[in-house]
Structure 1
Amino acid sequence: MRVIVVGGGIGGLALGAGLRRRGFEVMVFDRDTDVAATGGYHITLDGRAQSALRDLVAPEIIERLLASASALRLRHRDALWDRRGRLLGHGPDLSGDPSVDIDRITLRTLLAEAVGDDLHLGRAVIGIDRAEDGTLRALFADTAPVPCDLLVGADGTHSLVARHLAGGPTNAPAGIIGFSGRTCLDALSPPEQQRLGPRSGLAIGPRGAALYVGFLDPVGNAVLDAPELRMAITTGPTYIWGAMFPESAATDSLRGLRGCELQAALRAGFRDRGWSEHTLEVIARADPHSVAAFRFNAASTRVSDLAPWPAGPITALGDAVHATPPTAGMGAAAAIRDAASLVEHLREVAAGTTTLTVAVSKFEADMRVRGSEVLTLAMKTVRRILATDTPLGAAATAVATPILAAAGRLGRRR
């Protein structure tokens, strides 16, 4: 069986690696010319995603991944703050959590290595058709079509493949513009280092402003103590932060800014909404080259709306089907699980126990449930943020957070 994977992001590379490992003839095409040409942020892999990866790649790849990852169980409990930086509460105990965080570039590099020569960079698929004899083909602008038995779209939110299947977009803007950056812990003042601590946290204020601060330390919090295997691009305690504002003409215009100019505009946006200056230090002291903007897109949370096409020799996975805002930290992990599921069902085809159409149908049924699950979690936070952008929501947030902060301080004294 010849399989073409369109897109070399996390899901596409995971699928390509798994198919190659199981003896399938596979080709992964991606428009990027360098696997490191991606956002330098981090990905959370829960136990299910790690289990899927163990099925997809060789043990030595897993070992290098774990040596480059930061263990959630070694972090302090996550925090919830208000716009003044006052602690409102804590997240669950992480001491037994098997999840890990890893740099996106590191994970993509490891998966690309597992795909090997079957990864073709600088090759953008521009269409899909069938030859005169009915053979399915991927089309390119400057080279001959490539035939296949199965074509899989792993080409992200604006997927050409999913649009071909669905007859239109499979997701829509979620109503939030996001901005991300990286800030070394050592760049912060001692008071902010103390407040933020070795943990992740979220602050939500009135008028739809929110700031997520994720803690990543693949050295001090390494999952596997094997420095000789470490590939992490993060070499010390670092905060990977995400600023969020409701989508509007004003916030959309920020997407054209870069570096220090964007940092200044973000801080001004938070100050206009009443945020304390010290809570914005993580933005002010970020590496200017790391700061970037992106729109949150989301598919429907309803199972029946995902992959709304008949099963056949063309399918898709990951954000191409269930585009997920980063507010649950589960999008990439879900794409990896999609890849493992598809490989498992295709092995049944190779064994002669089922047909390709039946295998794809089973895979898509699994994916719809999985996609709905992660989307539901992610959209809860999105809706919570957007709810503060109404007059009633803004007033309720401004009134309630000081009370919650006072209650939290009282509880800590007891």
Structure 2
Amino acid sequence: MGSQNGRRPRVLVVGGGVGGLCLAQGLRQAGVADVTVFERDASAEGRMQGYRLRISPEGEAALRECLPRRAQDLLTATANDRHQLGLVAFDERLNPLPAPTFDDPRGDAPDKIDAVDRATLRRVLLAGLDDVVCFGKRFVRYEEVGGELVAHFADGDHAVGDILVAADGAHSAVRAQLRPDDTTQDLGVRAILSRTPRAAAIEAGLPESLRDRFVNVTAPDGLRLALMPMVFRTPPARAAEELWPGLDLGVSEDYYMSVFSVHKDLLGLDDEAFFGLTGEQLCRLVLDRTVDWHPDLRGVFAHAQPAETYPLALRATVPVRAWEPGPVIPLGDAVHLMPPTGGVGANTALRDASALCRALTAVARGEAPLAEAVAGYQAEMVRYATEAIEMSLKIARWSMKKIDVGVRA
């Protein structure tokens, strides 16, 4: 990297998810590179990627480091309104169970961003990047030509740059080319993610004591439910009208995100059948498997939205390994996939974005050679990503009792 022939270095980011967009925002703010993001989805709506995201202190710090102030204000305005009252645990009949506690150094700060809606976050991260993000670009391969990187896409188009960032997720095509032997471990757990309108869940009988907490339900037959509230401080559409007129943040009502998990050995379906189920069939599967659960919980399931319900296999990268320090650089799930049990996967990608932005800024300003800066970024990334995966696996073992991965956690 570095200035070449008087021009700024060109950074090609493959993948327009949370990490890739945060990096683009950071590099745009730093003004040290020409950055372009290539996203395979046809639009910002794209594929379903989840709903509510917990934002850790580290994730919030990364967002505030990379985003312009107006975007930060939008995230603050649309964050979860209900301060987390901690994690509570129950069995399937709502009998209390022991639960771990977690400290948050932010306390009850009024501008704390402790949870966001994922779709809203993505739209905020896209704000101001109309000339940076290219949709409908499925990456197929790259090549090095004359000291430059050429990225090729499925539509026959190509782009030339000095740096290629692999921010293309768990099934990274960049990783598949550069490190074809890298694999992730199947934890043996299959999950059903869904969204239920908050008003419908309350009307169905969700107890007051469960409405504003992270709720974990573990049944003796190996089934597990996580229920998380998303209550907007300000409705996204109104927040945009007030803080960024003309920006489309969409319309979203308050809701609960639910994650219903079971070990694949107890599912009774092979993966082909499970991942072929429709949203309606997945919702019915949950209702069938929880027929003996407390009726207040089953009422929530009955109002889950089939169109917002999808299956997931829990996987993890164990161990996390750095890539060769050079112009092709990993970020996010492409290098450190982890199960959602710890709520830190997106936060770790955000940390990557801020750390990589600092590293590339130092290179662009002539403060460090590329290989040295990338090696330093990856050494730190491997450390905190490994900690995040181990924590996620600990929580998975606590909540599920059985996962298939042979590592310390």
Determine whether 1:66 maps to 2:76.
yes
Q: What does residue 335 of structure 2 align with?
A: 321
| Aligned-partner SS, 1:117 | coil
Q: Does the 8 Å CA contact 1:125/1:140 hold for their aligned counterparts? A: yes
Q: Does the 8 Å CA contact 1:158/1:169 hold for their aligned counterparts? A: no
* Cα deviation digits, residues 207-261 of structure 1 (max 9, x gap): 3210000011113799x9998349474333x211110011246163332222332
Determine whether 1:20 maps to 2:28.
yes
Q: What does residue 199 of structure 2 align with?
A: 186
Q: What does residue 283 of structure 1 align with?
A: 301
| Aligned-partner SS, 2:130 | helix
Q: Which one is further off, 285-294 or 245-254?
A: 245-254
Determine whether 1:158 maps to 2:171.
yes
In 1, Cα distance between equivalents of 2:299 and 2:103: 27
* Cα deviation digits, residues 177-234 of structure 1 (max 9, x gap): 1111111232134642435222111011223210000011113799x99983494743
Determine whether 1:51 maps to 2:69.
no
Q: What does residue 351 of structure 1 align with?
A: 365
Q: Which amino acid aligns with 2:161?
A: C
Determine whether 1:374 maps to 2:388.
yes
Structure 2 stretches lacking a partner, 5+ long: 1-8, 405-409
Q: Does the 8 Å CA contact 2:218/2:400 hold for their aligned counterparts? A: no
Determine whether 1:260 maps to 2:273.
no
Cα RMSD for the two superposed structures? 2.6
Q: What does residue 247 of structure 1 align with?
A: 264
Q: Does the 8 Å CA contact 1:176/1:382 hold for their aligned counterparts? A: no
Query: Which of these residues, 25, 35, 42, is aligned with residue 33 of structure 1?
Result: 42
In 2, Cα distance between equivalents of 1:139 and 1:93: 45
Q: CA deviation at 1:93?
A: 7.4
Taking structure 1 as reference, are residues 264 and 277 closer, same or farther at Cα in structure 2, changes over 3 Å only?
farther
| Aligned-partner SS, 1:102 | strand
Q: CA deviation at 1:71?
A: 4.5
Q: CA deviation at 1:384?
A: 3.2
Q: Which one is further off, 17-26 or 152-161?
A: 17-26
Q: What does residue 11 of structure 1 align with?
A: 19
* Cα deviation digits, residues 152-189 of structure 1 (max 9, x gap): 10000011112323232341222111111111232134
In 2, Cα distance between equivalents of 1:139 and 1:119: 16
Q: CA deviation at 1:386?
A: 4.4
Any residues of structure 2 matched to 1:132-281 within 5 Å, and which?
133-188=146-201, 189=203, 191-219=205-233, 228-229=242-243, 231=249, 233-236=251-254, 238-248=255-265, 250=269, 252=271, 253-271=273-291, 275-281=293-299
In 2, Cα distance between equivalents of 1:220 and 1:19: 29
The percentage of counterpart residues that share the same residue type is 31
Q: CA deviation at 1:8?
A: 0.5
In 1, Cα distance between equivalents of 2:359 and 2:211: 44
Q: What does residue 84 of structure 1 align with?
A: 93
Q: Which has the higher helix share?
A: 1
Q: Does the 8 Å CA contact 2:88/2:215 hold for their aligned counterparts? A: yes
Q: Which one is further off, 285-294 or 117-126?
A: 285-294
Taking structure 1 as reference, are residues 255 and 66 closer, same or farther at Cα in structure 2, changes over 3 Å only?
same
In 2, Cα distance between equivalents of 1:323 and 1:30: 19
| Aligned-partner SS, 1:332 | helix
Q: Does the 8 Å CA contact 1:162/1:315 hold for their aligned counterparts? A: no
In 2, Cα distance between equivalents of 1:192 and 1:136: 54
Taking structure 1 as reference, are residues 218 and 251 closer, same or farther at Cα in structure 2, changes over 3 Å only?
farther
Q: Does the 8 Å CA contact 2:37/2:133 hold for their aligned counterparts? A: yes
Taking structure 1 as reference, are residues 280 and 4 closer, same or farther at Cα in structure 2, changes over 3 Å only?
same
Determine whether 1:306 maps to 2:321.
yes
Q: Does the 8 Å CA contact 1:177/1:251 hold for their aligned counterparts? A: no
In 2, Cα distance between equivalents of 1:87 and 1:59: 43
Q: Does the 8 Å CA contact 2:75/2:113 hold for their aligned counterparts? A: no
Q: Does the 8 Å CA contact 2:396/2:403 hold for their aligned counterparts? A: no
